Each structure stands twice: as C-alpha cells, then as structure tokens.
A and B are shown apart, each in its own frame.
Chain A
Amino acid sequence: MKGIFHFILSHSIFISFCAAALALQTLLLLSNPVNVYLLALIFFATLSGYNAYWLTSKFSFNKYASFLFFLQKNTSSLLVLLVAAIGMLFCFTHLKLVMYNIGITFIFLALYAIPLIPIKQLHFTRKAGFVKTILLALAWTMATILIPLQIPITEMPVAGLLIFAVRFLFMLMLCIIFDKRDAAVDKIRGLQSLATDMSSTLLNYFIAFILVAYIIAAWALKFYGIALSHIAALIGMGGITLWVYISSFKKRDYIFYYFLVDGLMFLSGLLTLLVSI
C-alpha cells in the first residue's frame, strides 16, 4: 500500500489529478459544461510534462555511465510517460482545441525547463530568478483556465479574467512554498528562484501581499455572479494555503510537499464541486 502511494506521488499521478481538479473548478465556476475528454487531456498532459521534466532533470544533474543505463534506471518513469502520451493522443483526437492556448502554455513550460537542459550556452538562464517561478505559475494558470474554457484570453468574460487572476495568485503561493523548500539545493546547483533572490522576511511580506491580492480578486467575483459559497470556498483555500506556508517553515518530509501542498489544488477543486452540488 505504501509502495503504491509512493509510486502515485513520485510519478506525478497525484499532481495530475490536482490539475484536472482545478480545470473542473474553472468549468464549474464559469458554468461551462463538463467535458471529460478535456479534463483527461489536462491530466495526461500534466503527467507526461512532469515525468519528462523529472527525466530531463535527472539526466542533467546526475552522471550516468551510458544513456542505456539511464533508461534502465528510470524504466517506470518512461513507462508512465509513454502511457500519458498515448492517453493525451487519445483525448486529443476527441477534441478540437484552441491551439493558440496550448501553444502559449507549451512555450511557458519550455521556457521553464530551459535551465535544466545540459547545454552550457543555456546555463545563463539558471540565473533567471523569479522569472522561473512566475513562468511555472502562469503555465499552470493557462493549463487550468484557458485550456478547459477553450477560448482565447481576449474573449474571456470579466469573471473569467478574475478567476485567471485568482488561480495565478494561488499557484504563485504554491510555487513559492516549493521554491522555499528547494532554495538550498538550487543554490548548490547554481539555479535561482524567488526564494534564493529574496530574504525570508521579504518572502513572507511577498506571500502576505499575494494573499491579500488573492482575497480581493476572489471577493470581486461577487460582482460577476459567482455565488458567495464559491467565493467563501476560494477565500478559505487562501487561509489554508497560508497555514501550509507557515507549516513549511519547519523541516518537512516529501509527503508534506507532494501530498499536502500539491493536495491544496485538489482540495480547492473538491470544495468548489461540493458547494456546486
């Protein structure tokens, strides 16, 4: 049982469910019908994206005797990546997507991954600092807002734009929690992030600022027809995220980050689903 739980977390299966949960939240908040192919596409795209990212990261920062040895050492990740790619292709054939949204999301993710590429000429991007964090939060926002809605950002209603802002700020808080965890390792590897660029005190002020902006944006949804129960759920999630951020000040294990912190996304989607019933 413990092995299965570990496999689900370490191969990004749980975080992929979290992405689908956030996409469902978007559809419910904006009263759009629920297309399970779209949710499945987001699940498989996250699964393949993260497994590809981990594989690239392992290859980039570890020494392997040969490429074949690297493949042997990471068979399970490669298998998950293959299944995710097939799943993505299957969903893709059942959808006519706004490719513009997919393209922009892919560009953000590709930019985020550039510092990991083992090419010396690209190593200057490892000094990108806060850009990396912003890119990841933006990519998550695009993937869980614009892709499920299937409309260009220019055609989004005001409520949609506010939900975009709420999601971006929420994801930014989660990214900062991870940046904070990785700060020591990032410094060793010569990578920069918000947590390496800012002092702890400044980072706390920054989180407080993001949280206030998040609550204001969530509250503003009241003027665009979003039910108070939904707004309360979003604001409640802000409070829980702050609690998790404070909890991360102590040394925490892998389950805290990959189940509890990532699980905040799932919880957010679940709360919206529950108040929708």
Chain B
Amino acid sequence: MLKDLESKFLSDFEKNQNIVHKICRMYTTDKEAHNDLFQEVTIQLWRNYEKFRGEAKFSTWMYRVALNTAISLYRKSTRRIKTQNISDFEYKIKADDYDDSEELQLKALYLAIHQLNDIEKALIFLYLEDKPYKEISETLGISNGNARVKMNRAKEKLKNILNP
C-alpha cells in the first residue's frame, strides 16, 4: 500500500516538478539555496501526501504546499536578495551568450521578482501561472476582494521595477 502511494507520489512529482523549480527560483538566488528549498518542499509534499487523497488537482495542491514552505517554513531569510549583485546577472547572460529576447525578459522578470517581498512574490507567481482569484485567496487565506486589490498593487510595483 505504502509502495503504491510512494510510486504514485514520485511519478506525480516528477511530472510537476517544474512548479517547484519556478518557486525556488523566485524565492532563492543561488543554486545551493534553490536545492535546499527544493528538498524542504519535497519533504513537506511527501509528509502530507497521504492527506491529499486526490481531492484537488495534484498541481493545485503542490502550489499551496510549495508556497507555504517558501513563505513560512523555509528558515533562511530571503531579504538579502534586495542587495543582489546586478553584475552577477549580467555576467550570467554574457557567459551563456543569450540572444533570445524572451530569455532575457525572463531573467529580468526573475530579477525584478527578487525585489518583491515574500507575499508579493506569491501573488505575482499565482498571477503568472494564471490562477483565478478564488484560488489565490484560498491559497493565501485572504478575502477575494483584498486579493484583487493587492494583486493590482503588486503588479504595479513589479512594473515600476521593470520599467523605472
């Protein structure tokens, strides 16, 4: 029974792991922290998998647990991100020799997201992932109306960072 549950979990997770990678990329700035957070999310997902029981979509459930881990359970502070070295970012672009504008935009987007606080990051992430307001308010535990208002504010803030 446990074996079945385990293999179901592993295959579900493997397919949907990109969600966790995106969250880790938003909430951390170096590879080590990324892996650290990824591991903690994995532990939390597995621990709660039995309670999951397929009531929602696996991915929906994954969003919630992964965001909760990044915001409330992961111990390391992400505040230092604000002082992140921009030249690091430029260096990476040069080193990888990107010429794709979309790739550049994506990197700029992540860099801008790093400057938001943890809650704004969650709002923006759920917006980028096309989540309806109902799901956003349920995930964060705030009212629907407030989710709308604060989402607009977070978007404005992000726009200002992207285009000062």
The finding on whether chains A and B are genuine partners in a shared complex, rather than unrelated, reads no
Q: Which A residues have a C-beta under 8 Å from some C-beta of B?
A: none
Interface residues of B (CB under 8 A from A): none
